[in-house]
Amino acid sequence: MTTLYLLNRRHTAGQLTDLLAAGDTVVLCGDAVQCWQQHWPRQVSVHVLSEDALARNLTAPATQAGIDYPELVQLCGSHARVIAW
């Protein structure tokens, strides 16, 4: 069962990495978009909410896929569980 983690606080990113399993997805939004540089497990997909990154004048690297709100809704529908941090 895959889980989508919506991470919106920068300081919780370190706590989340221990919970991630292969096939999980992380979406960085809010202040958490500043965590794109953090080391994320290879078996986990990491996305950055583009609007929040732009609001903070950040450009995520190509290794993190920038997504918009319609894509976020699709991700929520494609995972068995959605957990917001």
Here the CATH number for the domain that contains residue 78 is: 3.40.1260.10
pLDDT digits (tens, 9 = 90+) for 23-37: 999 999 999 998 887
How many distinct structural domains can be found in the chain?
A: 1
Residue 7 CB partners (closer than 8 Å, separation 6+): 13, 16, 26, 27, 28, 29, 32, 35, 85
Q: Which two tokens stand for residue 25?
A: 């997805």
Q: Model confidence over 45-70: pLDDT tens digits?
A: 999 999 999 898 887 666 667 899 99
Per the confidence metrics, is the pTM higher than 0.85? Answer: yes
Q: Domain range holding 65?
A: 3-84
